[in-house]
Amino acid sequence: MVKVPEGVTLVVGLGVSGRAICRHLEGLGLAFMVADTRDAPPGLAAFRAAHPDIEVYCGALAGLDMAEARQIVVSPGVDPYQPELAVLAERPGPCGEPLVVGEMALFTRACKAPVAAITGSNAKSTVTTLLGEMAQAAGRRVAVGGNLGTPALDLLAEQPDADLYVLELSSFQLETTPSLGATTAAFLNLSEDHLDRHGNMEGYRRAKQAIFRGAQHAIVNAEQVATWPDAALPALERFTTSAPQPGEWGIRPGEDGHTWLMHGDVALLPTGAMRLQGRHHQANALATLAMGQRLGLPMPDMLRVVERFAGLAHRGEWVADIRGVRWINDSKGTNVGATLAAIAGIGPTLEGRLLLLAGGDGKGADFSPLASPLAQYGRRAIVFGQDAERLEDALKGALTTHRVKDLQDAMEEAFEQARPGDCVLLSPACASLDQFTDYQARGEAFRQTVRQWISKETP
């Protein structure tokens, strides 16, 4: 058995976050070693070349004696409840924290500037990016990252003079965070995801609730009680896609006949002025405005950003209109909740109907909630990949379904079946790893095929 030397910090996981943890510890001058459960993790040779004096253990954690480690810092991809780590979880570590923590515990110790933290099953990246752009427009020295883009610990090194950190945080990051202490924290929504890691919805919700530990202000979804903090906080605000109650952020028709983003009785912006359309994106804007106001960002600056913000690649991204049919790339819709949001946001805006392209690895999720909105807005569901049969079974009776082998076949079927006024929506409700390297590769395949068709249509 390999023994972690007394007083040495053990980093578990040699992925992107694991390497950021190592760089951070090295910068602090702390002794550390690395463990990875894979026999040959990607990037191992490069890591050893960059850190020739750091011991690296590869293999099952059962072969590693961690009892005398100063602290064990696990990467987000590492399950902290696996037996070898769970047995150590209750032991005390430095700074009054548990022995087993994640990267955000190290970030919180070192960060001196305010933190805006965003979690949720869906829309985290959109809200994080939008808030970052608002802060930048207001002249703040803002650093944006976390689960999105640059790891939080690398932000500290790359932008040490930042006066605001805006962080997207996953349930994997939050479950190993003892106390984040965010200036403002948003829990946007909750739907089935990562049940293979968290066991059930309550375990998943509980992991995300960690975003509120030590928070000064929370913004939550008025329509989902599960997003509300379990313990009282100094300040709490809610957003809704309905008419807001006093103090809430919501959406309401104005006397001019237009629908408006509202804060209580104050009209902020007509929804038609937004480049992003759909109720789900309007909700994202409201949550972001609430966080920005708490951070002291001027409302006129924020509203100008909301107007011009076009969204993120693979997240409800308009690709093209071909023969009167709109093609939307929502490959980031990797769970049922994300796909429900896309359907609810786009469906009511169409003259025609939706053709949904869905499939991949469903991660054990229940697909049945998709049936009702697709019965209302859908023309056809074209399913593919590992869980195509489960999707087909869940949608039978709601609309016509058609099972194919892969995304390319699904797109060709949609091209033949779509009518002017329709929308072909790639929002798979599944992870992509059964057929693609990641959701970006899946979305890019969708884009490329659409562009090839456009070139053929153009004389």
Mean pLDDT of the chain: 94
* Residue 194 known to be catalytic: yes
Let me know if residue 143 belongs to a domain: yes
- Please determine, for residue 459, whether its predicted confidence score (pLDDT) is greater than 60: no
Let me know if residue 181 belongs to a domain: yes
Q: Which residue has the tokens 């008025």?
A: 222
Let me know if residue 188 belongs to a domain: yes
Residues 273 and 350 in one domain: no
Residues 178 and 257 in one domain: yes
Let me know if residue 106 belongs to a domain: no
Task: Write down which residue in 78, 101, 124 finishes a domain.
Answer: 101
- Please determine, for residue 260, whether its predicted confidence score (pLDDT) is greater than 80: yes
- Please determine, for residue 346, whether its predicted confidence score (pLDDT) is greater than 80: yes
pLDDT in tens, 227-259: 999 999 999 999 999 999 999 999 999 888 889
Q: Which of 247, 427, 251 is nearest to 341 (CA)?
A: 427
Let me know if residue 203 belongs to a domain: yes
pLDDT in tens, 145-163: 999 999 999 999 999 999 9
The domain that holds 33 is classified in CATH as 3.40.50.720
Active-site residue, from 24, 122, 124, 280: 124
Residues 152 and 260 in one domain: yes
Residues 347 and 283 in one domain: no
- Please determine, for residue 113, whether its predicted confidence score (pLDDT) is greater than 60: yes
Q: How far is CA 306 from CA 83, 127, 297, in A?
A: 46, 11, 13
What's the number of domains the chain is made of?
3
Active-site residue, from 24, 122, 189, 194: 194
The domain that holds 346 is classified in CATH as 3.90.190.20
pLDDT reported for residue 199: 78
pLDDT reported for residue 456: 81
Q: Both tokens of residue 216? A: 């000064």
Residues 353 and 225 in one domain: no
If you count them, how many residues does the chain have? 459
Residues 128 and 96 in one domain: no
For the segment 187-212, the average pLDDT, to the nearest whole number, is 89
The domain that holds 142 is classified in CATH as 3.40.1190.10
Task: Write down which residue in 101, 129, 150 finishes a domain.
Answer: 101
Residues 264 and 359 in one domain: no
pLDDT reported for residue 385: 97
Residues 206 and 274 in one domain: yes
Residues 171 and 257 in one domain: yes
* Residue 112 known to be catalytic: no
Burial of residue 406 (CB within 10 Å: 0-12, 13-18, 19+) is middle
Q: Which residue has the higher pLDDT, 190 or 194?
A: 190
Residues 354 and 304 in one domain: no
Residues 73 and 94 in one domain: yes
Let me know if residue 171 belongs to a domain: yes
For the segment 434-455, the average pLDDT, to the nearest whole number, is 95
Residues 165 and 208 in one domain: yes
Q: Domain range holding 417?
A: 317-457
pLDDT reported for residue 458: 64
Task: Write down which residue in 287, 308, 329 finishes a domain.
Answer: 308
CA–CA gap between residue 175 and residue 186 (Å, rounded): 16
Let me know if residue 294 belongs to a domain: yes
CA–CA gap between residue 58 and residue 122 (Å, rounded): 34
Q: Which of 115, 266, 270 is nearest to 183 (CA)?
A: 115
* Residue 147 known to be catalytic: yes
Residues 6+ apart with CB under 8 A from 448: none
**How many other β-carbons are positioned within 10 Å of the β-carbon of residue 252?**
14
Let me know if residue 377 belongs to a domain: yes
- Please determine, for residue 193, whether its predicted confidence score (pLDDT) is greater than 80: no
